[in-house]
Amino acid sequence: MFHLFQSLSRFHISVSNLHLCKLCGASCFTLIVRVLCQCILLCFLCLVMSPCFPFCCYSLVYDCQRLWGAFEQAYVNKDPCNIPVQAYDPLIAAAPFKPQCNKMMFWSKTKVVVHGFTEKRKDCFVTLEDTVLGYALNGLTWCGKKGSNGTFTTACPRNCENNPVDSFWIRASAAYADVACGDVTAMLSGSTTTPFDPTSTFAKVEVTRFKAPKVRSLNVVMVIQKNAKSNCKNASLQKLKKALHTGITYSCKDVSRIQECGSKPQIACKTCW
């Protein structure tokens, strides 16, 4: 329940009526949304809270039924270990990412740090997980089963390559990278010996989609914490430079004051590092 209210607050959604009801013999929630409904989030959460409850939101932005249908068609009544990345094409088409030039942040092995930063400094950078789809599904698990029209949130396999959750994030990562523009930033970890990991989503999916002249530069922020194992001189970063499309400039800076910059909004974004 806390995640639901947190989500509503995050997107500045005004809820005019929230009450318990009895339906299909189960307790469930009726959500009447007045202003904006980031509906895939609400519909997914409503389904999780009460599978018997029908569509629970009205949107002034999205066609909720079309969006929810695009999401469900990817995995419902299918083998949860055989969901290709392309299964989410209709969902991405229904809720495309909008370019946010000079503010798009990518990351690898810095999940806690980067989201702690963007949570406090939304004026500076936006990650995939700060977008509508990314935030709605971040941290959630879902799958379908062959022969069933239901959505399941438990006993979903994650150890097979083409599972619903991993396939979604790969597809979403590709789509987010496709709209990257201007000066792009990537936050990498100095706590690992290979900050640019060739097996990571950042390396395999995102970097290869940065195209000049739409993308002018890639600025790497190397997060240096106590007992750091690498810095901007790490050999793996040479592979990153070579992977960039011709015409994209590269820079890297070792940064140890991420938390300070995040907690002090008076520090201008461009002077954080």
The Cβ of residue 90 has, within 10 Å, a number of other Cβ atoms equal to 17
Mapped onto helix, strand or coil, the DSSP state of residue 138 is coil
CB contact at 8 A, 256 and 227: no
Catalytic residue among 28, 81, 101, 232: 101
Q: Is 39 a catalytic residue?
A: no
Asked if 181 is an active-site residue, the reply is yes
Task: Kindly name the residue from 81, 181, 232, 269 that is annotated as catalytic.
Answer: 181
Tell me the chain's radius of gyration from C-alpha atoms.
Answer: 20
Q: Which two tokens stand for residue 28?
A: 């469930």
The span from the CA of 180 to the CA of 169, in Å, is: 16
Query: How many Å apart are CA 222 and CA 191, to the nearest integer?
Result: 9
- Annotated catalytic sites, by residue? 101, 181
